[in-house]
Amino acid sequence: MAKKSGFIKNLFNGSEEDGTIEDEFYNEIETKKGEVDPGNKMILIEPRAFSESQQIANYLKNRNSVVVNLKRVTSDQAKRIIDFLSGCIYAIGGTMQKVGVGIYLCAPKNICVDGEISEEKGKDSEEEDW
């Protein structure tokens, strides 16, 4: 038991005795600092053409979440992109959720998306529903 209390005492006091467990801990953190696991990114993208859909699919395949803003494409292109991404999401077992007008959150199966954003449609709303 004395050994455990010594470890805790050394940890909080910053003692450099017996192999410096604290230093090893911080060295491990420093080596991981700045490194991001490829599957833990949230990518924001505003495609300007349907051809950019392939890049979005690649991000999803690499287990990254993607927020897609379709406000810079025509409604026909937006529909094609959503159809393509829907197929990709189905193939990888992920989810797609609308978070705003023309904005979608696409997540692979390793990401749990909890909750939903409700959509209120007013009588004056002329925005497209894609």
Per-residue pLDDT at 113 = 84
Residue 50: inside a domain: yes
Same domain? For 73 and 103 the reply is yes
Write out pLDDT tens, residues 63-86: 999 999 999 999 999 999 999 999
Same domain, 25 and 47: no
Whole-angstrom Cα distance, residue 1 to residue 77? 68
Give the domain extent around 70.
42-107
Q: Is 13 in the same domain as 53?
A: no
What is the rounded average pLDDT of the residues 24-52? 70
* Domain co-membership, 46 together with 18: no
The answer on 97 and 46 residing in a single domain is yes
114 pLDDT tier (thresholds 50, 70, 90)? confident
Contact 10, 18 (CB under 8 A): yes
64 and 83, same domain (yes or no): yes
Q: Which residue has the tokens 């053409």?
A: 49
Whether 114 is covered by a domain: the verdict is no
What mean pLDDT value characterizes the chain?
78
What is the domain count for the chain?
2
Contacts of 75 (CB under 8 A, 6+ apart): 128, 130
pTM of the predicted model as reported, rounded to 2 decimal places: 0.64
Does residue 69 sit within a domain? yes
pLDDT higher than 50, residue 28:
no
Indicate the pLDDT class of residue 26, thresholds 50, 70 and 90.
very low
